[in-house]
Structure 1
Amino acid sequence: TTKKTNRRAVQTLKRFWSDLGCCVKLMTPTEHDRIFANISHLPHVAAAALINSNSSEELKFAGKGFIDTSRIASGPANIWADVLLTNADNTIKGIDKIIAELLKLKKAIKNQNKQQIENLLEAARKKRSALINYKINKKELIS
């Protein structure tokens, strides 16, 4: 919302979405763009990169995990190109965060540092578990 936002319209929309069972969070356009670059746009970018980084021959061996992980790369390219360009700055910041995480894993693997690999994977496992718990029980996420 902004200072120009019609409060009555906001309440009407909030009630509409709440009645459908949605959780409504009011936020600024800046907040929205930052958050959705990370939770909406980046998964699409990552899925596209995952698919594009494999040859057609390699993809013949893809199993359920790969199929699940890459599912959202099936979205319409023209729509996603517009989404990514419209929120380019936030999307680029998110891509940089993913690259930083990949580089941590790469370094640990290159250095044969099993403990560091386990730490990074365990941190991800715990975060995802907290996310699922939050989505199911609406309990607070841990960082």
Structure 2
Amino acid sequence: MLFTKGGDGKVIPRCRIKPLSAKNVVVEGRDIDVQTFLKVYRQRVHGLRFIFDKNVRRRSDLASEFEGRIVLTLKIASSGEVENVQIKLTTIAENSPFSAINEDVKESVSHWKFPKTKNGATFSFPISFYMMLPQPSMFDDSSSIKNK
């Protein structure tokens, strides 16, 4: 489900993250291949969605306008631990009501784990996200199927 209806009847927007493919990932070093990186990314994308949801819910009045992109550079040590995370580019301005997302994403990604390797690797990749608000009819109880 992309959104829910809260106990107070308010529609709560839900985050969508555009799928990441190998063609969007830049890799330096060959100890960790792109497919291994994407496997870890896909396992962790739900945590990123939670970060976006948490921050946007604080300002649900602006949620329908919210979308953005963060490009990260991630250095992975030979131990498989993330050694360094840098925000290479972000469309979320520092003075935006959603500016905390940048640091929250950076912090979350810094805890990702990868397989051990000989030399590690560095990856650059985008996270593109947007919020979806439902049409009012999506919660309309009159659309239930009747038995024949």
> Which interval holds the TM-score relative to the shorter structure?
under 0.3
* Larger relative contact order (CA 8 Å, sep ≥ 6): 2
Q: Which has the higher strand share?
A: 2
Q: If the length of structure 2 is used for normalisation, what is the TM-score?
A: 0.21
Q: If the length of structure 1 is used for normalisation, what is the TM-score?
A: 0.22
